[in-house]
Amino acid sequence: MANPKKKTTKSKKGMRQWKEKINSPNLVECPHCHHLILPHHVCPYCGYYEGRPVITVEKKKKKEKAA
């Protein structure tokens, strides 16, 4: 079994996770369908924004593999 030679310190772990944090998009929960969506955007799952429907969203299409 491969093992790390030294223990990762809290400092090193923090330095690594800080980068992961700033590169991840900020997500909020849609109040209508409770999916995670980008803030200040129309929900792509239900088409709601500020409690009212803004766009109509087509229902999920079955995935078909292109030959």
Q: How far is the CB of 5 from Zn ion (least distance, A)?
A: 47
Beta-carbon count within 10 A of 54 CB: 12
27 and 41 Cβ atoms separated by less than 8 Å: no
32 and 46 Cβ atoms separated by less than 8 Å: yes
Element (H, E) at 16: helix 10-23
The answer to whether 33 contacts Zn ion (rule: CB under 5 A) is yes
The answer to whether 49 contacts Zn ion (rule: CB under 5 A) is no
Among 32, 42, 49, 57, binds Zn ion (CB under 5 A): 32
Which of 58/64 has CB closer to Zn ion? 58
Per CB under 5 A, residues contacting Zn ion are 30, 32-33, 43, 45-46
